[in-house]
Structure 1
C-alpha cells in the first residue's frame, strides 16, 4: 500500500520556517479577509490578481498595467489605492475580466514567503472556497502545509478554524502527526455549527467590526460562498 502524503498546519508565519515546503502544496489562509476577498473576486470573474507585499509596488504595477489597485493595513484602505480588502467590493458587474493588484497586512506576506522557500505549489484558501481547496489537495496527493497568516505573527482563531475545516474533510487521505492540526480540527468540529456567533469573540472581529465590517466577516466564514480554486502561477493568482 502506498504511503499517504503528510499534512501539517503552521499556526503563524513566525513558525513557517520549521516546515519543509520543497515537495509540498502550501495553502495560504487569511480568512479575515485577504483569501476570502481573493476567492470572491476570482469567483466573480476577475482575470487575475497580482499579490504584492509592498504598497509602493502595488501603486507602480497598477499604473503600469492600468489595473485596479487595492489594499489595506490594519483593516483600513491604504491612501493612494483605489479599493480595499472587502469581498463586497468585487461583485461580478465590477470585477469581471479585470486585473486586481492587491496588498494586505498578513496574507500577501505569507504567500511570498511560501514562494521564496520553494513550495511546489501555492493555493489560497478560505471558507468561501473550502470545497475547491479540499478537492484539489486530495487530487494532487502531495504533502500539504496549511499556512495560517495570523495577525502580525500572532496566532488567530479564524485561520486555524479554516485549517480545521480542511483537515476534517480530507484527513483520511493524509498522514497527520501534528498537534496544531489536531487542535485545529477539534476546534472546528466544536464550533462549525455556531461559526457566526463564535467569530464574534475573536480579536480580529473586534478590530474589523469597529469599521462596520460585520457582513464582510460573516461572508468570510460562509462555506462555499465563492467556490473557486485559486492558484499562484508566475507571480499571479488565477482561477484553477
Structure 2
C-alpha cells in the first residue's frame, strides 16, 4: 500500500521494462489486445475448459498431442507453421470450442505471461472483457501492474490504449503516480471516441489489415463482447 492507503496502479508498456516493477507484490494483468488476450477471453466465454499458454510452437504441438487438445497460435500475425488454428477470436465459437482444451502460443502475449510468473495473481485483459477485469481489480484492493505485451518488446498503441482505458475507469480506487499510466490514460481519453480510427496508423493495425483482418481488429477494440475473467492457475488459464 502507498501512503494514501490506496494500492498502486502502474502500467508497464513493454515486457523489456517488467524488471523495473515489483511483480511479487502485485496482481499483473497481461494485455495483448491484438489478439491473444481478446481470443483467450472469447474462447473461455464460449465454453473452453481451459487454455494452456506456452512459449514455443514445439511445446504447443507436443502438449496438444498429449491432451488431444486444440493447438493454436500465431507468429507475426499468421497461423504458426505446424499448428491447426490461429489467433482470431472468430475461430472460437461456442459450437467449436465448448468443452475443449486449447494450447496457445503467440508472438508476444504468452512470453509476458511466463515472465510475470511470480505475481500475486495473473489475469488477462482486453477490451472484450474490460468490465470483468476492472471489477476484479477494484474488489481485490491490491497493487496492480497493467502489463502490455507490446510487439517484440517495442511499445504498441493497442495495448497502451487498453491500459489507459482501465486506468480511466478505476483510478479513483488506486494511487496513480506512474508516468506511463498517466500517459496511457491521456492517450485513451484522446482516442476513446473512435478507437478503430485512432488505431489506423498503428503498425499492428497495418499488419493485420494486410491479412484482411479488419473485423478482428474491430472486435478486439469493442468493450465487453466476452466479459469473463481469465485467471492463471497452475499454468492454465481458467474462468475466474
TM-score (norm 2): 0.98
- Separation in structure 2 between the aligned mates of residue 6 and residue 155 of structure 1, nearest angstrom: 22
| Partner of residue 53, structure 1 | 55
Deviation at 1:85, TM superposition (A): 0.3
| Partner of residue 213, structure 2 | 213
- Separation in structure 2 between the aligned mates of residue 30 and residue 183 of structure 1, nearest angstrom: 18
Please point out which of 49, 71, 88 is paired with 2:90. Answer: 88
| Partner of residue 194, structure 2 | 194
For residues 70-109 of structure 1, the aligned pairs below 5 Å read 70-109=72-111
Query: Structure 1: any 5+ residue segments left out of the alignment?
Result: none
| Partner of residue 129, structure 1 | 129
Q: Secondary structure of the residue that 2:23 maps to in structure 1? A: coil
Asked whether the 8 Å contact 2:57–2:82 carries over to 1, the reply is no
Aligned length: 238
| Partner of residue 35, structure 1 | 37
| Partner of residue 149, structure 1 | 149
Deviation at 1:197, TM superposition (A): 1.1
Deviation at 1:79, TM superposition (A): 1.6
TM-score (norm 1): 0.98
- Separation in structure 1 between the aligned mates of residue 75 and residue 6 of structure 2, nearest angstrom: 40
Deviation at 1:2, TM superposition (A): 7.2
- Separation in structure 1 between the aligned mates of residue 223 and residue 114 of structure 2, nearest angstrom: 26
Deviation at 1:50, TM superposition (A): 0.2
Q: Alpha-carbon deviations, 1:52-93, whole Å to 9, x = none?
A: 011101000000000100010000111211100000000011
- Separation in structure 1 between the aligned mates of residue 207 and residue 80 of structure 2, nearest angstrom: 16
Residue 64 of structure 1 pairs with residue 38 of structure 2: no
Query: Structure 2: any 5+ residue segments left out of the alignment?
Result: none
| Partner of residue 9, structure 2 | 7
Root-mean-square deviation (CA), in Å? 1.0
Asked whether the 8 Å contact 2:29–2:147 carries over to 1, the reply is yes
| Partner of residue 185, structure 2 | 185
Deviation at 1:200, TM superposition (A): 1.5
Q: Secondary structure of the residue that 2:18 maps to in structure 1? A: helix
